[in-house]
Amino acid sequence: MFEEINNNFYQPKQKLTQPGSMMVRPGQSLTINCKVSYSVTGYTTGWIRQPAGKALEWIGYINGAGYTVYSDKLKNKFSISRDTGTNTITLQGQNLQTEDTAVYYCARLSQ
């Protein structure tokens, strides 16, 4: 199973909002949207995950110009995109397996 729970990250006048928990069967794909209160063209937003009882694991990020960088380990499993009209950053995963069970977080990287 694949789990993602609601997480809101607050900084002064900034907010990132994700959906509630989601479950996916092994082999399926998943899309998680992260709606942010800032302009996605002005900041870098990343995705990280944390399996239960384990350390945080970096997935990748998309910068203000739309350029993406991924963890070597996960670059063939996940993709990150954005919608500049709605200021939404999207994480898409494919062929997910039980080892991908984790809490997934979006976060704005500091400048």
pLDDT tens-place string over residues 57-97 = 999 999 999 999 999 999 999 999 999 999 999 999 999 99
Q: Give yes or no for residue 5 having a pLDDT over 80.
A: no
All structural domains of the chain with their residue ranges: 8-108
Residue 110: how many other CB atoms lie within 10 Å = 7
Q: Within its chain, how far is the Cα of 41 from the centroid?
A: 17
The band of 111, judged by pLDDT with boundaries at 50, 70 and 90, is low
Residue 10: its pLDDT value, please? 41
Q: Give yes or no for residue 29 having a pLDDT over 90.
A: yes
Q: What is the CATH number of domain 8-108?
A: 2.60.40.10
Q: What is the mean pLDDT of residues 20-48?
A: 91
How many Å apart are CA 106 and CA 110, to the nearest integer?
13
Q: Which residues contact 53 (CB under 8 A, 6 or more apart)?
A: none
3-class secondary structure for 27-69? CCCEEEEEEECCCCCCCCEEEEEECCCCCCEEEEEECCCCCEE
pTM of the model: 0.83
Average pLDDT, the chain: 86
Helix (H) / strand (E) containing 98: none
b/e 76-101 (16+ beta carbons within 10 angstroms → b)? ebbbbebeeeebbbbbebeebeeebb
